[in-house]
Every structure is written in structure tokens, then in C-alpha cells.
Amino acid sequence: MKHLKKGLLILLLPLVAFTTVHKFYVSVTNVGYSEKDDALQITTRIFIDDLEEVLLERYAVEGNLATENESQQADTYLEKYLRKKFQIQIDGEQKAYDLIGRKYDDDVCVFYLELPKINLPTVKSIQIQNEVLTDLFDEQQNVIHFKIKGKKKSFVLLKSDAKGMLKL
């Protein structure tokens, strides 16, 4: 009987180990250029539940994002957090971007950012520093996709390496 219990435990243990839910911590950012507007146009997609945790942990705000009871403070604090954790440099110089807006897409919040009047023909490098959620989750990965002037380059930014640069 003792060997039967051990045998069952050995058979069941791998099954139980693989049924645990593993949460992925990831955001995806796309950076492109609009010739018509002479602007970098950026979309960044972040999971709503992770943003909820940021609001609660950093600002003691119950966000209730994507619900009828969404906090009136959500926009203010999300923008404050994004501006602190997501930064852009053009040729080594810090640049301010416009937060155009945000929308919800299933379980993700999509932010729309724009950096106007960059005069792309004179630009030699564009660097993104993305530390979004790395202060809360050590496993956080922030994926950046650049698609500018026919060049495509992607980066996976981590807490230990939060910058990606496209040289033009």
C-alpha cells in the first residue's frame, strides 16, 4: 500500500505542477513615423489588471478601469505614471510627447502617444526607455517594435535593461 501511494504521488505530481496558472507580465509598444504629420506615433498596450495594481500600489487609487465605476482620478494617475516610466530621446535629447488618449480593447488598455515635429531626415537615433511595471513585477517584459524609414527593429526591455535604440 505504501508503494502504491508513492507511485500515485509520482504520477500525479507532474500533472499538478503543469496546471498552475502562470501570469505573464508584458506590454507591447509600436513606434512608427507619419510623414504627413512629421510625428512619431506610438501605441502601447498594457494589461488592465496590471494597471489596476499600479494605481493601487503607487497612488492608493481603486481604478475600476474599463467599468462604469472607473475612478475619475484614473486618467491623471495613469498619465503621471506613464510619463515617469516611459521616455523618449531623439539624438540623445529627452523629448516630451503628447498623450493623445487611451481606449480599452478586451483586457488591455491601449495608450496613444505622439511626438510631433521631429524632422525625421535629420534624426540619427531614437531611444525608448520603458520601465512600465518593472517597479512592480520583476518578470515584466516591455516589447518595443520600431518601424521607421523602412527599418524594423524589436527589443525586449527588462528591469535590468530598460532602453532600446533605433539608429537611422
> Does the model's pTM come out above 0.85?
no
**What percentage of residues in the chain have a pLDDT greater than 90?**
70
pLDDT of residue 19: 41
Q: For residues 57 and 51, give the distance between their C-alpha atoms in angstroms, rounded to a whole number.
A: 10
Q: For residues 43 and 73, give the distance between their C-alpha atoms in angstroms, rounded to a whole number.
A: 22
Q: Which three cell numbers stand for residue 64?
A: 475600476
Q: What are the distances in angstroms from CA 84 to CA 25, 98, 102?
A: 19, 14, 17
pLDDT of residue 104: 96
Nearest to 74 by CA among 37, 116, 102: 102
Taking only the tens of pLDDT, the chain with its 168 residues reads 554 444 444 444 444 444 444 477 899 999 999 999 999 999 999 999 999 999 999 999 999 999 999 999 999 999 999 999 999 999 999 999 999 999 999 999 999 999 999 999 899 999 999 999 999 999 999 999 999 988 899 999 998 999 988 888
Residue 152 β-bridge partners: 147
pLDDT of residue 1: 55
Q: For residues 86 and 107, give the distance between their C-alpha atoms in angstroms, rounded to a whole number.
A: 21
